[in-house]
Structure 1
Amino acid sequence: MTVAIIGAGPAGLALAHILNGNIPHYDPDLFGPHPDPQLHELLINCPNLLCAATESKILEYVKLNVQSFFSSDCSPVSLLFDTLRIPCETNIQNQSTMESRVSWKASPENKVPYTLIGGKDGAGGQWSNMDSDSEDSRVLSYAEMLSLPGWAFSHFYRERYNCAVPDFLRPTRKVVAEYYKLYADKMGIPVTNKLVGNITKSPNGFAVLTTAGDLICEATDVVLASGISCAQTDSMQTKKLAPSGSVVVVGSGVSAADAVICAKPDKVLHIYKWTSPQGEPTPLRRYPKKLYPEYAAIFEEMKSRTGPTYTGIPNGQIIKIDENKVLIQKQDGDVLEAQAKEVIIRTGRAGSLAYAQDVLPKKTELVGKMSLRDLGYPLPKIADNVWAIGSLTGDSLVRYILGMSCAVAWNLMD
């Protein structure tokens, strides 16, 4: 067996670490049993967490009894590993209260050969690509929620800055990208930096080809881990118009809020919707002032439609961009003409699966707000010997990626 992992972001790196023969186990001796006694009893009888990741009785219990503040639609296997790593997310006082019940054991006999293909960005995936986000903007997750197995973010931080991670640190994208880049080296995970153009079926399983048609590798199994930020779409773009004027931001989520924050103290015109086309309210409503003061402040400005340098335009739309002028139709039909230096559109990321069309059971070129799970694919196996992990499956935060990676690893090692 050989495995081709397409994408070297956190999900691909975590899977590679497991395939190197590192097996997670439920370990109540670390900090005592999990606070949920029923979950503890279930896991005591199935301590190998690769096995637990596919155990229907455990996953059904998690589905009915475990919830997360950060996501309302996580898969049970993602929630299982999340609650084992952060058992009491509503009562996190500092780093010491994030008491993981997961220990890792080396198991060389379970190694599975793989090729991890990182595209042009290499280790870190979208975290290494700063095209559409400021590298100095702070990420949504707190530091330890970004950790990968074997070498936690706290270990990287101490080596890099010679001090412990401050409580409730939300690091910058630049620092997180550096961590994932170094993680691959630290854990002995080789990354092939080639851009995948196509995957075709071959006598040995699959052939993974570059955009020029050259062979990267052959594999018996393919794991899609390319994420939802690699496609260039109209929903994530920045247009520079003039040296001066307002900054027009379009979007209702965290990326749009980050753009508003980065644009200040310039005057900002913010176009947003209270609900998505799928009927989901803006995610900014979820973030409490104590934990996310900057997002709570933007949400308050959205509600009041005004701030020191902020003007909110709910349910508006851009109808024309002409040199440095932007015409915006407001909800009541009136048209606002604004002098603008920049238009920043942040209405949703998307990932391209154009390279995988020959191995997918149905045509699916873009994956974004509608994940593979939303599109009706069974997970993590989406076709014979074809698997999917990471944000393609709806696990949009790093803290959730381990579960699906473990489920895939169990099937590959079985």
Structure 2
Amino acid sequence: MPHRRPSQYSSSEVSHQHPEISGVRTTNTVVVGNGPAALCLSYLLHGNIPFYDPVTHGPHPDPVLHKKLSKTLGKPLFYALDTPQQSERLTDHFPASNLSYSTQALPLNALLDTLQRPNADTELGEVKGRLRWEKWPQKSVEHMVLGSAPDAGGQWTEDPVSTNWDIGTLSYSEMFSLPGYTFPEHYRRLHKKLPPELVRPTRRDVSSYYAAYPRAVGIASAVYSNVYVKRISRNQGGFTVQVQRRKTGEIFVVLCRHLVLASGIFSYTIPPPPIFLPLLQRPKMQRSHTDGSSGGHNTVLVIGSGFTAADVILSTPPNKRIIHIYKWNPDRPSPLKGCHPQAYPEYAEIYRRMKLGTLGTSTQNPRSPHTEHPGSAPVMRDWETTYQGFPNAQVIAVSGDGKIKLLTIDEEVIEREITELKYCVGRRGSLGYLSTDLRKEVGALDVAWVSADTLRRRVETGVEVVPGVFVIGSLTGDSLVRYVAGACTYAAGKILKESEDRKALAAQHAGAAATATGKSPGSETPGSCVIS
């Protein structure tokens, strides 16, 4: 359904609508979230324009894609992505191509990935991108990036389960770069050398990179971190966004014409069920890992079968005992199964221990307790004496003194004593900040929680899921940073085009009014605020 969008908001009207709000601001676009996707979009909205570049490093290695993009040479890439149909025409040959294109990512996201990093999965050496960036200040669009994370970078700056910041990431360093200031550039600033090829950087370095990115590329003035977006609803001219500062509790309102959802699908950890309340209410259970000085009586219970649980295990001091409860289903294996022992030795070792647990033993084929990989935290653990895995076990009783009862897959009830709980069964996103009507519009039927599948079908037909609302980042269903640029480029192009069309229309009306009244074009009514 089309929504009427008048060209002005009256400041007196705003004060009447929000008498309790001291601050009301206006901008063209609000981006909810301050992770990599939000930062990439902000870079584009600051007037940084991408062009297909077949000259600097030669044509794109995909001759079909090169031929298609050659029709728009000299024009911003936005023109080639003006509609979902145009985007589809650029990528409809991907499934039959000899090049390795992701079959899981949105074709739009795979397109921008291959333009930035052609053959990234098969070639080593310098990244020879086929994009040229030009700064056009006149194309910038006023916007605000609003994120609850304390620094730019979103979840990369947060650590809800207290893991080691020096654990290697799953992706290689080349895959974290955003336009304008790459991860290798930042790494060189930090370490006075370029990162090795095929290195998995630490979470510490990746977090530092995204925190530094806004200032490095000149977008810091648009990025507001440490703020909560409390509620967003439609109004006659676009959207009303209520925001609260985390530190002071101050509330202000932003009126905007375009809304971009970039809050991700990993914002909240799934909390433990009520059976664990006796443990959570103990002061010790609320702490992160200690130094393990209490010896064998210092035992952590880890629940989960994915990477977060594995990171907690890797971060646990080696003299702490670990009781690990995890799901085991050969038809739906743990994501750790895909970790090759050479590329991801630490995760492969944990998966091996989990598999041994299904055989009723953790001592078959003992290996060296020291597993290390460049860019990863070393695992110095005597697994046979400090790790015990229980596949598909259930916690059936919990007491406040740390004693728990487990029902194993063999229907045996065993008792253990623990000092710490790490519940790592997943993270979810939330669109609870959208009004009920707006949430229904975008297709989020659940009251709050969203996953990679929630909006996937909507974004497959267009990143602008409803008039004025765009979806980028992991909310599109593509959670890797390498795939953020596609949806961002499409959204930026549409926002820029609508903004320019509106400015042209306003100038035309101003000229007509000036001719009729004899006033100078561009004069404004006192007390009004125009959103372009």
Give the TM-score taking structure 2 as reference length. 0.70
- Measured in 1, the distance between the counterparts of 2:340 and 2:72 equals 37
Give how far 1:139 is off.
1.9
Matched, 1:261 2:314: yes
2:215 match: secondary structure: helix
C-alpha distance in 2, partners of 1:3/1:79?
A: 25
- Shift of residue 385, structure 1, vs aligned partner: 0.7
Q: What SS does structure 1 have at the residue aligned with 2:414?
A: strand
Change (3 A) 1:251 1:217: same
Q: Residue 387 of structure 1: CA displacement?
A: 1.2
Per the alignment, residue 273 of structure 1 pairs with 327
Give the match for residue 190 of structure 2.
160
Find the counterpart in structure 1 of residue 46 from structure 2. 20
Amino acid at match of 1:77: L
Counterpart selection for 1:215 from 252, 257, 260? 252
Q: Label 1:368 to 1:405 Cα distance change in 2 as closer, same or farther (>3 A).
A: same
Tell me what 1:10 maps to: 36
Aligned to 1:49: 77
Tell me the amino acid that sits aligned with residue 50 of structure 1: F
Q: What SS is found at the alignment partner of 2:271? A: coil
Q: What secondary structure does 1:356 align onto? A: coil
Contact 1:379 1:393 (8 Å CA) reproduced: no
Instruction: Report whether the alignment pairs 1:177 with 2:254.
Output: no
Q: CA deviation at 1:78?
A: 1.4
Which stretch of the first structure deviates more once superposed, 397-406 or 34-43?
Answer: 34-43
Which of 76, 88, 100 does residue 129 from structure 2 map onto?
A: 100
Output one character per residue of 1:100-152: Cα deviation in whole Å (capped at 9) or x when no partner.
22221223332211111123523111112223242333222221211111000
Match of 1:73 among 87, 97, 104: 104
- 2:339 corresponds to which of 277, 283, 287: 287
* Alpha carbons 2:459, 2:476 under 8 Å: kept: no
Q: Which amino acid aligns with 1:269?
A: I
Distance 1:407 1:174 in 2: 31
CA contact (8 A) 2:88 2:107 kept: no
Report SS of the residue matched to 1:2. strand
Q: In the superposition, relative to structure 1, how do residues 376 and 85 fare at CA in structure 2: closer, same or farther (>3 Å)?
A: closer
Specify every segment of 5 or more residues in structure 1 that has no aligned partner in the other structure, as ranges.
none
State the shift of 1:169 in Å. 2.6
Show the 5 A alignment for 1:60-209: 60-62=92-94, 65=97, 73-93=104-124, 95-96=125-126, 98-134=127-163, 135-189=165-219, 190=221, 191-193=223-225, 194-209=227-242
Unaligned 5+ segments in structure 2 are 1-26, 288-293, 363-382, 498-532
Question: In structure 1, what is the Cα distance between the partners aligned to 2:105 and 2:329?
Answer: 20
Equivalent positions of 1:296-311 (< 5 A) are 296-305=348-357, 306=362, 307-308=383-384, 309-311=386-388
Deviations 1:262-317 (Å, cap 9, x if unpaired)?
125233222222449xx643222222222222122222222222243333322223
RMSD: 2.9
Secondary structure of 1:223 counterpart: strand
1:372 partnered with 2:462? no
Quick check: 2:32–2:261 contact (8 Å CA) kept in 1?
yes
Secondary structure of the corresponding residue to residue 140 of structure 1? coil
Preserved CA contact (<8 Å) 1:15 1:406: yes
- The 10-residue stretch of structure 1 (23-32 or 185-194) with the greater mean CA deviation from structure 2: 23-32
User: How far apart are residue 377 of structure 1 and its match?
Assistant: 8.0
Query: C-alpha distance in 2, partners of 1:335/1:374?
Result: 45
Distance 1:81 1:407 in 2: 10
Q: CA deviation at 1:199?
A: 0.7
* Matches of 2:409 and 2:152, distance apart in 1: 44
Aligned to 1:245: 298
Are the counterparts in 1 of residues 405 and 413 from structure 2 also a CA contact under 8 Å? yes
Letter in 2 for 1:57: R
Count of aligned pairs: 409
Change (3 A) 1:200 1:235: same
Share of identical aligned residues, percent? 34
Q: Which of 467, 473, 476 lines up with 1:384 in the alignment?
A: 467
1:7, 1:224 within 8 Å by CA — same for their partners in 2? yes
1:356 positional shift: 1.2
Confirm whether residue 357 of structure 1 aligns to residue 435 of structure 2. yes
Moved more, 181-190 or 104-113: 104-113
Using the TM superposition, give the Cα deviation of residue 37 of structure 1 relative to its aligned residue in structure 2, in angstroms: 2.2
How far residue 344 of structure 1 moved from its aligned partner, in angstroms, is: 1.3
**Contact map agreement 2:106 2:460 (CA 8 A) in 1:** no
Distance 2:409 2:263 in 1: 37
Q: Is contact 1:66–1:79 with CA below 8 Å preserved after alignment?
A: no
TM-score with structure 1 setting the length: 0.89
- Tell me the distance in 1 between the aligned counterparts of 2:429 and 2:138: 35
